[in-house]
Structure 1
Amino acid sequence: MAIEALIFDFDGLLMDTETTLLDSWRYEWRQHGLELDESGFFAEHGGDVNELRYAELARAVGAGYDRAASHARRMAYRERVHAGLGLATGIGAWLREAERQGLRLAVASSSPAWWVRANLARTGDLTRFELLACGDEVAAPKPDPAVYRLALERLGLAPERAVAFEDSPHGVTAARAAGLRCVAIPNPFTPGSRYAHADAVLPSAATTILSEVLARVAGARIGSGPTNAP
């Protein structure tokens, strides 16, 4: 069955906002003379765990910790580093190739719509996407498939007619549970061995042109296992 649409994760896939997130928390811990324990920093789901992170920092700082000031300082720092953040390497070329081929483009993210929309608008890429499906529109984050099902519903397509692109194992799980074939570009914080359930695994979008990637997964069956592209 022909592929008509591509559905992209946002954080860590379209744009490396996950590195800036980690960097902002490192920065904030250092404002208190402390070092962030980065083990287990990224949750095994796509939900918001920032309140848990603030609680952990509050325990480490002790009496006198000002949560509001801490948040304001961290967000100001993150905005500064975000000012120069663009699409991940190779993604722009993929989007241009998809447009030439007449493929429909969508985003399925566990992040809220305002976050996805603002970042894509800042780089001038928002209008490339026909629609967004976001975490504040569904009951549960990835690995729950709800946000992918919402994207497919809005596209009016069966899952066999679309391909998902993800950077996290729980994102791949969500895409596959929605019936989609999924291409993984593992983020730098997760071992590549955890992506065995993807249909293809790439080191970067810059290593392979989009048409070759789609050719590799076009005949993939759900459950057929990954193809490792160079």
Structure 2
Amino acid sequence: MAIQALIFDFDGLLMDTEATLLDSWQWEWRQHGLELDTSGFFAEHGGDVSESRYTALARAVGSGFDRPASHSRRMAYREKIHTTLGLIDGIGPWLAAAQRRGLRLAVASSSPATWVRPNLARTGDLARFDVLACGDEVDRHKPDPAVYRLALSRLGVPPEEAVAFEDSPHGVVAAQAAGLRCVAIPNGFTARDRYAHADVLLDRAAGVALEEVLARLPGGASAGGASAGGASAGGASAGGASAGGAGRSSSRA
């Protein structure tokens, strides 16, 4: 069956917000003369784990820890280093190729829409997406498939006509549990052997044509939708998150 839509994770897949997140926490620990133990930093699920991180920092600092000041300082630092962050290399050409072929585009993220939408708007990429489905709209985060099911519902396509793109093992599990085939591009913080369950495993997006990626899916795949030069996959609906639409949300804070 021809592919009609592509669904992308946000944090670590569309943008390398994972790196700015880790950087900001390491920086904040150093403000107290401490070094963050980065082992196990990234949770094995979607959702916000910032409170547990602040608890760990407070324990290390002691009674003098000022959590509001710490949070304000860290977020200001992260915003500063984040302002120049764009799409990960190779993702832009994939989105353009999908649009030329009339494929619909969606984001399925465990992060809230208040994180996903402004970041995509800042780089001028929000209008490329027909649908946003985000973590503040579902009760359970990845590896639960809820956010992917929401994206599929808003796209109006069955899972066999869509392909997911993920950077984390639990994201791959979520996509496949929703019935999607999944292309994985491992993030820099997780061992490659954790992605054996992915349908296609890539080192990076850069230098690989979208057509080649889709052709490697089990059973092969053809891109459906309009022909090149046909209807764009973008449009005003993305700015409104497709009828009220709202990755890991640990990457937003």
> Offset of 1:64 from its aligned partner?
1.2
Asked whether the 8 Å contact 1:10–1:107 carries over to 2, the reply is yes
Matched residue type, 1:180:
L
User: Which residue does the alignment assign to 1:176?
Assistant: 176
**Are 2:32 and 1:32 aligned?**
yes
User: Which residue does the alignment assign to 1:47?
Assistant: 47
User: Which residue does the alignment assign to 2:105?
Assistant: 105
**CA separation in 2, counterparts of 1:42 and 1:24?**
14
**CA separation in 2, counterparts of 1:115 and 1:145?**
20
Asked whether the 8 Å contact 1:199–1:220 carries over to 2, the reply is no
**CA separation in 2, counterparts of 1:165 and 1:23?**
24
**CA separation in 2, counterparts of 1:16 and 1:219?**
31
Asked whether the 8 Å contact 1:186–1:203 carries over to 2, the reply is yes
**CA separation in 2, counterparts of 1:16 and 1:174?**
20
User: Which residue does the alignment assign to 1:228?
Assistant: none
SS at match of 1:205: coil
Q: Which runs of 4+ in 1 moved over 3 A?
A: none
**CA separation in 1, counterparts of 2:92 and 2:131?**
17
**CA separation in 1, counterparts of 2:49 and 2:76?**
19
TM-score, scaled relative to structure 1: 0.95
TM-score, scaled relative to structure 2: 0.86
Asked whether the 8 Å contact 1:5–1:105 carries over to 2, the reply is yes
User: Which residue does the alignment assign to 2:161?
Assistant: 161
Question: Residues 89-130 of structure 1, C-alpha deviation per residue, up to 9 Å, x if partnerless?
Answer: 100011111111111000000000110001000000000000
Matched residue type, 1:192:
R
**Are 2:241 and 1:205 aligned?**
no
> Offset of 1:207 from its aligned partner?
3.1
What is the identity percentage for the equivalent residue pairs of Structure 1 and Structure 2? Answer: 76
**CA separation in 2, counterparts of 1:5 and 1:218?**
17
Matched residue type, 1:163:
V
Asked whether the 8 Å contact 1:2–1:161 carries over to 2, the reply is yes
**CA separation in 1, counterparts of 2:220 and 2:147?**
22
> Offset of 1:143 from its aligned partner?
0.2
Q: Which sections of structure 2, spanning at least 5 residues, go unmatched?
A: 222-253
**Are 2:51 and 1:69 aligned?**
no
SS at match of 1:207: coil
RMSD: 1.0
User: Which residue does the alignment assign to 1:57?
Assistant: 57
**CA separation in 1, counterparts of 2:25 and 2:4?**
39
Asked whether the 8 Å contact 2:199–2:218 carries over to 1, the reply is no
> Offset of 1:182 from its aligned partner?
0.1
User: Which residue does the alignment assign to 1:227?
Assistant: none
> Offset of 1:68 from its aligned partner?
0.2
User: Which residue does the alignment assign to 2:115?
Assistant: 115
Q: Which sections of structure 1, spanning at least 5 residues, go unmatched?
A: 222-230
